[in-house]
């Protein structure tokens, strides 16, 4: 039971990313056919090293709107640290309410606001310690640990976004962390979850390392393009649904 629920956390994190990023790419592609260039809305968000970077990579159009029309008009970081923390919380709470008038969205936004404020406090208070210890640890190790924790923080906060009410969300999380539900940690979902996690991260890794979009059409060799398109069609056929699933973000 506990392992099934944990797998559900990871699978929804992958689902909502694939859902929203996928149809954003479709919108960009259709617009490009008509000569309209839309902004990139996702930049490998699950490779973020902290929660601030996550919001620079996730739903970029909304993040910029919240920054320009809520956070900065509230005062941003120009009126002292405590006012900055307040502005972060107000901005993210309103960002949560934008998704729907429900307590789960308020909690989701509030948790992100609290994480953003906590990161600012942590960064300011440990700046010297991190600088000293960074000499002992490789940058790759620090980045890997940071990405691991950021991914898990955002994934567990998604539970509130997905749940229909607070009771469901709290019950879900309590059962995930309840040792009694881990008596027999054996689940067929585990292998499915590992596959989707590896597939998603490996798919994003080249673009993350290159720090730019890598397009199949950027290669002019027809053999390489044909092989790539064939592989993509096989992947879609293998992991695709047999019936049409509505996009999650169409409800917002």
Which amino acids are annotated catalytic? 99
Residue among 164, 159, 167, 43 nearest 112 (CA): 159
Task: Give long-range contacts, CB 8 A cutoff, 24+ apart: 49-52.
Answer: 49/143, 49/146, 49/147, 49/150, 50/119, 50/146, 50/150, 51/112, 51/115, 51/116, 51/119, 51/150, 51/153, 51/154, 52/116, 52/119, 52/120
Name the burial class of residue 111, with classes exposed (0-12), middle (13-18) and buried (19+) by CB atoms within 10 angstroms of its CB: buried
| 20 vs 42: CA distance, rounded Å | 9
């Amino acid at each position: 039971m506990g392992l099934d629920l944990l797998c559900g956390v990871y699978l929804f994190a992958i689902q909502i990313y694939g859902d929203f990023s996928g149809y954003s790419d479709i919108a960009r592609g259709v617009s490009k056919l008509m000569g309209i260039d839309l902004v990139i809305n996702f930049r490998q968000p699950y490779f973020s090293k902290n929660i601030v970077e996550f919001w620079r990579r996730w739903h970029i159009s909304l993040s910029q709107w919240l920054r320009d029309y809520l956070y900065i008009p509230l005062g941003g970081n120009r009126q002292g640290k405590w006012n900055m923390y307040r502005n972060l919380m107000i901005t993210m709470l309103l960002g949560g309410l934008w998704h729907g008038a429900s307590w789960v969205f308020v909690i989701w936004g509030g948790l992100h606001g609290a994480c953003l404020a906590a990161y600012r406090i942590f960064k300011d208070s440990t700046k010297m310690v991190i600088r000293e210890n960074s000499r002992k640890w490789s940058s790759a190790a620090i980045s890997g640990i940071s990405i691991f924790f950021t991914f898990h923080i955002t994934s567990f906060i998604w539970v509130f976004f997905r749940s229909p009410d607070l009771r469901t969300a709290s019950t879900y999380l309590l059962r995930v962390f309840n040792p009694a539900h881990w008596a027999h940690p054996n689940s067929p979902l585990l292998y499915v979850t590992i596959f989707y996690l590896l597939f998603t991260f490996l798919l994003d890794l080249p673009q993350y390392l290159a720090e730019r979009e890598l397009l199949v059409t950027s290669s002019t060799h027809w053999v390489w393009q044909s092989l790539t398109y064939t592989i993509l069609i096989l992947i879609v056929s293998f992991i695709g649904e047999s019936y049409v699933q509505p996009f999650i973000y169409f409800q917002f």
